[in-house]
Structure 1
Amino acid sequence: MKRPIELLAPGGDIDAIKAAIAAGADAIYCGLDKFNARDRATNIDFQELHGIVHLAHQHNCQVFLTLNIIILENEIPALVRLLNKLVNTKIDAVIVQDLGVFYLLSKYFRSLKVHASTQVNTHNTGQIEFLNRLNADRFNLSRELNIHEIKELATFGHSRNISTEVFVHGSYCLSFSGLCYISSVLAGRSGNRGRCSQPCRDRYERTSQGKEYPLNLKDNSAYFDVKELSDAGVDSLKIEGRIKKFDYVFTVVNCWKKQLQGFSEQGQLSTDNSDLSKVFNRDFSNGFLKGDINKEMFIDNPRDHSIKQLSEVDNYATIEAMDKNRIRFYEEKADTSARAKDEISRLSTAKPPLTLTMSGELGAPLSVTVSTPDTSFTVTSDMSLARAGKKSAANHLSRSAFFEKFKAVNDTEYVLKDIDVGLLQPGLFISYKELTSIKKRVLFILHGSKEIIAPIEVPAVKKQPALNVPPTLSVLVSSKEDVTLCNKTSATLFFLLPSSLKHDRSELIDLFQSNRALVPWFPSVLIGEDFTAAVEFLETVQPKRIVTNNTGIAYEAFNRGIPWIAGPYLNSVNSFSLLCLKEKFNCQGAFISNELSKKQIRSITRPENFDLYYSIYHPISLITSRQCLHHQVIGCEKSSMDETCMRTCNKSSTVTHASHAPLCINKAKGHYPCIYNGTNYLNTDIVTDLPNMFSHVTIDLREIRTDTTVEVSKPEVITLFQSLLTGTPDSEEQLTQAIHPTTHGQYQKGI
């Protein structure tokens, strides 16, 4: 008997949820019509949630509700109202991305179990410590990790009583989750808001490698890797697909359930995944899981691959044979769909009816019998029934009064269908207080023997006095040659450390020990030995301050008392995310996300003794990937990514979207492959639009090739920006003449 592993299925709409239950899912993740990362899914409304939970629990299936987007400031009141309702449901957990939501849950709504979304991008032990401090019960690991990295993190998670979840089937993302801004920039649809338009699946101008879909990955499938995942200690296997229809969900969940049962009961795995190939897919790969990040993970067609797979497998002798088998294939698909439809037709998410029977006579207690299709129980009053007098409000015991008093039953998994007062002697009275006590006991039992939690009013973040001084300037560089700028400017110099830090650790330690004014800037992704090297760097250098885009390093800095600033890729977009960073991790300040508009930024409240940062000039990062982005564009003599690629590759190329300007692909030494927007971000407006909000602004002078041209030297660029901040006349015009073309579309559109 193998260790049981949870099978976690997607539920984009009611039919898909039923299909997952019918096929044997152990848990379902689904979203309401707001605050979730599948805006294109049909989703469900709150009124349907109780019935879904009731149906799922009848079939030993848990329900996880997705609240996995970043939350804007003006949405906080609506979110709090929703959380006040969710605490009185029987959902099994909420799935979260936004640090402000983590904060609210950990401080005010502790009865809700919290799972960290894949959007949190968990890939090192420090991040698990960070999530543990936020009371997370589970984390979903980055899809890019290999089985050895997964095992290390699952083991560490178990030592902190946090379970591990891994995506094992469905769409791959080209970018590390939470670090993808391509849809936000190109289409105004933020992936961090659940609105990804999937431009990585789009057609591009044909590349020199003959590819028209050079950013399109095959689908993820670890169907044959269950033993390795079990041995690694993974607790939950997650299927992607909340925009997929019920027949897809039924087929995929059914296949995976049989695979897990065979492994659990007989220790055997099926070698036949043909049923998975009969529903929508882009062909399959387990490249990330195996640690073989190769060019075969790409496919030059984003559409359904199932019929082509059939043709390739069967290798027909004649056209007639192929046509005959294709007809049979479509008939089988229709049969599967019909079977799934039949299965879900037997399931109902309607709330079960509940009847109350009131009984009692003068001098005896009032008895309230609650009857549902599942159960029956009786609650009796502590006081005896008395004869109603003129002043005793006899209508308390009328049928209509009972309906009014017990209408809160409709906020449970049941709907109040009828109240029978035939066994209640007429003309009797019981106090309003006693009737309220009975109602509370009824709701307590219906709520799973848990008290109903009264609504919580979350206090707003206290406004701080406006800053009456211009923001100071900081500069981001990544070249050792640029360290000399420390001697040429009064601006603070941030230095971006590489993601493959283990190879350059000693040299970088020497660099920072020799230049104590240099502030280390940690990248978003630090996996395995690179994270260990980053922690050793912190220990050895003991910098006076750091900037980090990685919550693992944030935790390690907090744990060591090193002042730290939250970088722009931690996606801070509301006051409570800032409060979370300050109160939970002693953060000194944070960059506000560049996805926000002027109006969205203005509504954010700065916590007390907390600095706000903003990047006003930088190349716009669209995608950060563990996969080689040159394979399909300009080609490479290597078929797979390896450690040498990370350390030594230094290539640039461009790829042109069918309806947009060229995008710049950059692979710098020591860093993960990235795609940047063709033109850089320059936002001089924010200096005058929000003059008292930011204590610091940053410019990024790394040498990343885009179509933006800088006509002056770096010291001159710094001087121009310092002039802008001090209000020197014509400085803005001089900047736009020196740096062009640029854009600040995100600041105008927001998310």
Structure 2
Amino acid sequence: MSRKLELLAPGGDIEAIKAAVVAGANAVYCGLDAFNARNRASNLSMDELNGAIRLAHEYNCEVFLTLNVVILEHEIPVLVKLLNQVVNSGIDGIIVQDMGVFNLVNKHFPTLDIHASTQMTTHNEGQILFLHKIGASRVNLSRELNLPEITKLTALAHENNILTEVFVHGALCIAFSGQCYSSSVSVGNSGNRGRCSQACRDEYEETAAGNKYPLNLKDNSAYFDLPQLIEAKVDSLKIEGRIKGAHYVYTVTDTWRKQIDSFIESGELVGDDANLHKVFNRSFTNSFLTGKLTKDMFIDSPKDYSAKYALEESGALSEQKTEEVQKSLYDDKQALGATLADKIKGLNIDKADLAISITGVLGDKLIFSAQTAGREFIITSSSLLRPSKEAAITADLLTKRLRSFNNAAYILGPIDCTHLNAGLGIPFKELTAMKKELAFVLNGSIEIVPHTDVPKLAQNPKIEDVPKLSLLISDENDAHLCDVTNADIYFKIPESLKIGCDKYSEILLRNPRFIPWFPAVLIGKDYLEAVRILELSKPKSIVTNNSGIAYKAYEMGIEWIAGPLLNTTNSHALITMQEALDCKGAFISNEINRNQIRNIRRPKNFKLLYSIYHPILMMTSRQCFFQRTVGCKKKAIEDNCMLSCEKATTITNVKGISFAVDKQKGGYPSIYNHEQFLNLEAVRDFSGLFDEFFIDLTDIGSGSKEKLDKATLIQEFEKFLADETQTKAALHQMVEVKTNAQYVQGL
């Protein structure tokens, strides 16, 4: 496993890839027209990808393909068709979010290197071990982590032969990646499908703290943190920006290349980051890395800050001076553009010409001679040519046999058979062997992976004959609900926990019907304390939205169910979790619609669950949503903020739609839709598929809405499950502000 420090650059289109290559990137990541998390980028065709790989490899630059979205069941055949092409392209790795892709690749395309996308929200030790178990060779760590956290996770990753990469420049999401549903909820364009509409950059009605862009973070820049990242032994420094152009990619990559080279060669940093300010930016922050989460991480506008920065640096006050500064910035950008244009003008991604000539003389071996890009390859038969009338080798036969070399990598010219004597033959199996050997050497002496078809999955029977109700609570005072229902009762464990506090393990021990429900994000000591809850309470089963806790449960022999925030959308993801980590069941994502659910196939002895009533989470952040909404006297988030703060407010967008900004004790600040999710249609549509329908009774995200009587609500849901033909009026009357839009629109 390499320990070379890699500079990883974005390639939204061919020009950007060329820019990254000439600027000195060690690797570039890019996407095709489908299955990647930057649909707004130009992206590549398959032919362009093959050309980009050839070009990059000439410069000792690797290419990683982004397949970093959740996959729908009906898309599996298309994905497999794509993987059949990609596996023989020379690609150096694929970047993956969906756990189903791990299963498909491990079983059918094992030569592909799998990198875990930032969309997998990786931030604790258990998640590193989980990813190792399902076959990741590299992991992109969550952008919210600080340097000590990165150092610790990188050390564990290296112990398990996994590389780590960290974003060091570019746009920051305020939400944990993979855990943002705001775009999906608001406009039906999911961030988990590469269609984020960037609600965090939107303008809102002015908040009490005087801000119209309360969620808008500055861009990330770790330019002066390079020594600490090297000390942390991070393997790859990743630049964000696949929707940005070649000029941006060249400037940022070139600037970082010089910084890395300077420090490695002399131990000194380049003190000037001026060029980074000359391309699109929202000003810069390194606060996630330093762990100092202050108000200074935010900026009042999502627009390009480069001109404003130049004016501020110059101190320009007069109109004349302002014009001079703006012209100077324009001239600098033009000069950088001219430098880039000059450097890439000779680069092309055209297919290589391939010429094949055949030599065949009686008593000699058959010879294939192939010439391409200044190289020549000679392939010879094992046996000697002998007279043959019925099985003679002809020019027509060879043209048909070898025409497959006119492909994504090569343009095959007419096959030269002028030196092939007539009436000669060798066994056809030798022709096949020679063709295979030629393909091998043309592929860089890498074995060609044969085409594979993934067998269709069977639908296995349900665990429960009649679907059950289950519910989630977060307060022990709701334990009386055990007396009004036989439903499974999940108890929510918060994201932040006091060190050494036994409160939650004691609650679980006092209430044996409570099944622990673990959150999606557990960082540092909070992950360790969550593990301690498992060790002290020793539950028979759990639900977890965090793959690190899933790994620990697997290790301890505790039955676990994948929660809804693990974003499960296809059968192969279920198989990955079952086969690799003995998962017993999974919630199907609420982002997908009825038609997308319909084709999901259940593994044997596996429970399927679906939430029909819950507050609609839009985003969760490690930053504070209250600093720029209601205001906060603290200059930065403190350790105690997570445990003690219970603020709540609303923000209203320019369309007049309000969202609840809510925080429970021990929870991360979160934003919820103004409507509750209520989907009784799913009960009627899928009583034959789901074993369990789930309702969330935790009250979070309800804002100022009237609290419903939980016992009555349970009884009404149970009535409906027992007889789904009955009227929905009672539940619709109780839950006044509601939607099931995601179930209609899907991904």
- The two structures have a TM-score, normalised by structure 2, of 0.97
- Listed as ranges, the matches of 1:91-490 within 5 Å are 91-389=91-389, 391-392=390-391, 394=392, 396-398=393-395, 400-411=396-407, 413-426=409-422, 428-465=424-461, 469-490=465-486
Equivalents in 1 of 2:641, 2:120: separation in Å? 26
Instruction: Please report how far the alpha carbon of residue 368 of structure 1 lies from its aligned counterpart in structure 2 after TM superposition.
Output: 1.4
Contact kept, 8 Å, 1:176 with 1:625, in 2: the verdict is: yes
For residue 43 of structure 2, what is the aligned residue in structure 1? 43
> Could you give the per-residue CA deviations for residues 400-422 of structure 1, whole angstroms, max 9, x where no partner exists?
54332222223463332343333
**Structure 2 residue aligned with 1:619, among 615, 620, 636?**
615
CA gap of 1:711–1:499, structure 2 versus 1, over 3 A, is closer
> Could you give the per-residue CA deviations for residues 73-94 of structure 1, whole angstroms, max 9, x where no partner exists?
0000111111122222211111
**Structure 2 residue aligned with 1:572, among 562, 568, 574?**
568
**Structure 1 residue aligned with 2:695, among 695, 699, 702?**
699
**Structure 1 residue aligned with 2:583, among 584, 587, 606?**
587
Contact kept, 8 Å, 2:699 with 2:707, in 1: the verdict is: no
Equivalents in 2 of 1:334, 1:46: separation in Å? 32
Equivalents in 2 of 1:711, 1:310: separation in Å? 52
> Could you give the per-residue CA deviations for residues 379-431 of structure 1, whole angstroms, max 9, x where no partner exists?
11122233453x23x4x431x54332222223463332343333334554444
Equivalents in 2 of 1:618, 1:503: separation in Å? 30
Equivalents in 1 of 2:737, 2:175: separation in Å? 26
Equivalents in 2 of 1:34, 1:427: separation in Å? 50
For residue 639 of structure 1, what is the aligned residue in structure 2? 635
For residue 550 of structure 1, what is the aligned residue in structure 2? 546
Contact kept, 8 Å, 2:683 with 2:724, in 1: the verdict is: no
Contact kept, 8 Å, 2:663 with 2:700, in 1: the verdict is: no
Equivalents in 2 of 1:503, 1:714: separation in Å? 32
CA gap of 1:709–1:736, structure 2 versus 1, over 3 A, is farther
Q: Which amino acid aligns with 2:502?
A: S
Aligned residues, how many?
746
Q: Which amino acid aligns with 1:737?
A: Q
Instruction: Please report how far the alpha carbon of residue 692 of structure 1 lies from its aligned counterpart in structure 2 after TM superposition.
Output: 0.9
For residue 75 of structure 2, what is the aligned residue in structure 1? 75
Equivalents in 1 of 2:258, 2:274: separation in Å? 13
Contact kept, 8 Å, 2:47 with 2:408, in 1: the verdict is: no
Tell me which moved more, 533-542 or 368-377: 368-377
SS in structure 1 of the partner of residue 415 of structure 2: strand
Contact kept, 8 Å, 2:500 with 2:529, in 1: the verdict is: no
Instruction: Please report how far the alpha carbon of residue 570 of structure 1 lies from its aligned counterpart in structure 2 after TM superposition.
Output: 0.4
For residue 717 of structure 1, what is the aligned residue in structure 2? 713
Contact kept, 8 Å, 2:463 with 2:607, in 1: the verdict is: no
Equivalents in 2 of 1:207, 1:665: separation in Å? 12
> Could you give the per-residue CA deviations for residues 510-569 of structure 1, whole angstroms, max 9, x where no partner exists?
111111111110000011111111111111110011000000000000111101110000
Equivalents in 1 of 2:706, 2:662: separation in Å? 18
Equivalents in 1 of 2:463, 2:139: separation in Å? 38
> Could you give the per-residue CA deviations for residues 265-294 of structure 1, whole angstroms, max 9, x where no partner exists?
111111111100000001100010010111
Instruction: Please report how far the alpha carbon of residue 704 of structure 1 lies from its aligned counterpart in structure 2 after TM superposition.
Output: 2.1
Equivalents in 2 of 1:26, 1:419: separation in Å? 38
SS in structure 2 of the partner of residue 65 of structure 1: strand
Equivalents in 2 of 1:82, 1:4: separation in Å? 30
Equivalents in 2 of 1:624, 1:203: separation in Å? 19
Equivalents in 1 of 2:635, 2:399: separation in Å? 70
> Could you give the per-residue CA deviations for residues 215-270 of structure 1, whole angstroms, max 9, x where no partner exists?
11110010000000000010000000011111110111000111111111111111
For residue 605 of structure 1, what is the aligned residue in structure 2? 601
Contact kept, 8 Å, 2:9 with 2:240, in 1: the verdict is: yes
Contact kept, 8 Å, 2:124 with 2:153, in 1: the verdict is: yes
Structure 1 unmatched ranges of 5 or more: none
CA gap of 1:358–1:237, structure 2 versus 1, over 3 A, is same
Equivalents in 1 of 2:370, 2:5: separation in Å? 37
Contact kept, 8 Å, 2:497 with 2:643, in 1: the verdict is: no
Equivalents in 1 of 2:535, 2:678: separation in Å? 36
SS in structure 2 of the partner of residue 617 of structure 1: strand
Structure 2 unmatched ranges of 5 or more: none
**Structure 1 residue aligned with 2:487, among 491, 499, 511?**
491
For residue 531 of structure 1, what is the aligned residue in structure 2? 527
CA gap of 1:403–1:332, structure 2 versus 1, over 3 A, is farther
CA gap of 1:4–1:444, structure 2 versus 1, over 3 A, is closer
Q: Which amino acid aligns with 1:139?
A: V
Contact kept, 8 Å, 2:462 with 2:605, in 1: the verdict is: no
> Could you give the per-residue CA deviations for residues 56-75 of structure 1, whole angstroms, max 9, x where no partner exists?
11100001111110000000
> Could you give the per-residue CA deviations for residues 352-397 of structure 1, whole angstroms, max 9, x where no partner exists?
21211222322211211111124212111122233453x23x4x43
Equivalents in 2 of 1:549, 1:705: separation in Å? 18
Q: Which amino acid aligns with 1:677?
A: N
Report the aligned-residue RMSD.
Answer: 1.7
> Could you give the per-residue CA deviations for residues 670-708 of structure 1, whole angstroms, max 9, x where no partner exists?
011100001110011111122211111111111224368
Q: Percent identity?
A: 47
Contact kept, 8 Å, 1:247 with 1:341, in 2: the verdict is: no
Contact kept, 8 Å, 2:462 with 2:607, in 1: the verdict is: no
Tell me which moved more, 479-488 or 362-371: 479-488
> Could you give the per-residue CA deviations for residues 600-651 of structure 1, whole angstroms, max 9, x where no partner exists?
1111111111111111101000001000011111111112111111111101
Q: Which amino acid aligns with 1:483?
A: A
